[in-house]
């Protein structure tokens, strides 16, 4: 009886445990419920277990195919590259025979045009006949390059071609023809520039005529350049600056010097134009501009770079007193060459071995005589410079020093080496000013 009661109690406890097992133990939990209709279905893109999930594409191991080039095009490209290479090599080595051959016989027009341009850049009249043949025989593209080459050479033998080209329907050929006329320096061509070129409706032809007139160095043309320099068209102003530079005369250099202050928009071109001339008029003009703008760090730097380019190293002087005597010999009482004006500049060539005492403004000043090189005063002088001696009291001297790598003769640097920074000239005038003239202590 007691065992039955015990069995029934155990059975009731077991049933109770089975009913509550899903709440207390995972062992008795039921399977996961199915998703209800309110839940969003699984995204096949994000669910890797989905049968509809896309598979990642495998990277292709095949190399992209090169475009197919037919044999004729490949042969043309190789012939073109080979032709240009030979033209550039011939230009670098001044091999006119090779340029003549490629200009007249190469099958590709662009190579023939490159040969014509190379002959023009070399500027040698040996290439004129070849270019004439190219103009007579070739097509428009090559003829344009040939006329440009002729304009760069500027030989009088090409005048007939320039006259014919000036009437060409091709605008580029007309411009090159007017540009080339001036370089021939032929009197008849100058008349064409004056009567046809300057009056043309084409701005480029007018500019080419202005530039061409610069080669003649005719004093009357200075007035034309000044008119265009003062025009409102900046392109004409720049052409006038370049023409004044080509004129290469004392007057034209002075106009450029004066225009530096009056034309701020042309300052860099004026400095570049003066630097290109490489004559004493231009160098002394740069020095006068340097003196007049010594308070401007930017201008001093620009002029110093150009003096370095010209290798204008050494001592330079500026006259600081009006009517300073330029003597033929370094002693008191020597023959006077002429009086120097205040502001004149020149190169210092040397110094006298002995000092002298000279009365100046009621005082006895002791100083040396300096040998200087200055421009001649008169336009019809046989030379552009003259040498003489000037007493140090009347001079302000500045030193333009060569950079360190110029002073010591080192091995030629590799073209792959870094270019050293450009040096600056010493703009200070107190480094060698007057060599410290001494007043005579016995002066009353």
Residue-wise pLDDT for 206-257, tens only, equals 999 999 999 999 999 999 999 999 999 999 999 999 999 999 888 899 999 9
Q: Mind listing the pLDDT tens digit for each residue in 63-102? A: 666 676 788 899 999 999 999 999 999 999 999 999 999 9
Residue 86: per-residue pLDDT: 95
339 within a domain of the structure (yes/no): yes
> Which residue from 243, 153, 132 is spatially nearest to 197, judged by alpha carbons?
243
Q: How many domains does the chain have?
A: 1
Please give the Cα distance from 260 to 246 (Å, whole number).
17
Residue 217's contacts (CB-CB under 8 Å, 6 or more residues apart) are 247, 248, 249
361 within a domain of the structure (yes/no): yes
Question: What separation, in Å, do the N-terminal and C-terminal C-alpha atoms of the chain show?
Answer: 161
368 within a domain of the structure (yes/no): yes
Q: Mind listing the pLDDT tens digit for each residue in 305-357? A: 888 888 888 899 999 999 999 999 998 889 999 999 999 999 999 999 999 99
370 within a domain of the structure (yes/no): yes
Cβ(200)–Cβ(206) below 8 Å: yes
Residue 52: per-residue pLDDT: 55
Residue 415: per-residue pLDDT: 32
Cα Rg of the chain, angstroms = 43
95 within a domain of the structure (yes/no): no
Residue 403: per-residue pLDDT: 67
Residue 188: per-residue pLDDT: 96
100 within a domain of the structure (yes/no): no
Q: Mind listing the pLDDT tens digit for each residue in 136-159? A: 999 999 999 999 999 999 999 999
- Residue 376 lies in domain: 316-405+420-439
pTM exceeding 0.75:
no
Q: Is the pLDDT of residue 37 over 50?
A: no
371 within a domain of the structure (yes/no): yes
426 within a domain of the structure (yes/no): yes
Please give the Cα distance from 143 to 112 (Å, whole number).
10
Least confident of 55-59, 257-261, 274-278, 340-344: 55-59
């Amino acid at each position: 009886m007691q065992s039955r009661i015990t069995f029934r109690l155990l059975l009731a406890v077991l049933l109770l445990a089975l009913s509550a097992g899903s709440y207390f133990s995972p062992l008795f939990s039921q399977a996961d419920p199915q998703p209800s209709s309110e839940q969003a279905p699984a995204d096949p893109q994000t669910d890797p277990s989905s049968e509809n999930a896309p598979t990642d594409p495998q990277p292709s191991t095949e190399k992209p195919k090169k475009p197919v080039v037919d044999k004729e095009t490949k042969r043309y490209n190789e012939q073109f590259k080979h032709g240009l290479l030979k033209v550039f090599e011939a230009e670098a080595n001044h091999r006119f025979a090779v340029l003549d051959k490629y200009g007249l016989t190469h099958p590709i027009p662009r190579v023939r045009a490159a040969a014509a341009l190379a002959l023009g850049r070399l500027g040698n009249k040996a290439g004129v006949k070849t270019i004439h043949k190219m103009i007579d025989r070739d097509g428009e593209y090559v003829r344009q390059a040939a006329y440009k080459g002729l304009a760069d050479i500027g030989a009088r033998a090409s005048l007939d071609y320039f006259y014919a080209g000036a009437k060409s329907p091709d605008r580029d050929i007309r411009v090159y023809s007017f540009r080339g006329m001036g370089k021939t320096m032929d009197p008849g061509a100058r008349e064409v520039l004056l009567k046809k070129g300057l009056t043309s409706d084409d701005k480029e032809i007018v500019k080419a005529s202005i530039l061409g007139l610069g080669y003649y160095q005719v004093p009357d043309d200075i007035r034309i350049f000044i008119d265009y320099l003062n025009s409102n068209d900046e392109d004409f102003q720049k052409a006038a600056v370049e023409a004044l530079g080509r004129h290469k005369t004392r007057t034209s250099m002075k106009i450029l010097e004066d225009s530096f202050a009056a034309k701020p928009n042309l300052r860099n071109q004026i400095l570049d134009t003066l630097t290109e001339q490489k004559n004493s008029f231009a160098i002394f003009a740069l020095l006068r501009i340097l003196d007049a703008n010594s308070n401007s760090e930017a201008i001093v730097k620009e002029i110093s770079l150009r003096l370095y380019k010209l290798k204008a190293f050494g001592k330079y002087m500026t006259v600081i007193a009006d009517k300073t005597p330029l003597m033929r010999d370094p002693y008191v009482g020597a023959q006077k060459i002429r009086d120097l004006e205040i502001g004149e500049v020149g190169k210092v060539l040397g110094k006298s071995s002995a000092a002298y005492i000279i009365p100046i403004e009621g005082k006895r000043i002791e100083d040396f005589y300096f040998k200087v090189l200055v421009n001649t005063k008169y336009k019809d002088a046989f030379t552009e410079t003259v040498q003489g001696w000037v007493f140090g009291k009347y001079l302000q001297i500045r030193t333009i020093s060569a950079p360190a790598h110029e002073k010591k003769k080192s091995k030629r640097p590799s073209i792959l080496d870094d270019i050293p920074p450009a040096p600056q000239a010493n703009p200070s005038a107190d480094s060698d000013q007057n060599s410290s003239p001494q007043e005579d202590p016995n002066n009353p």
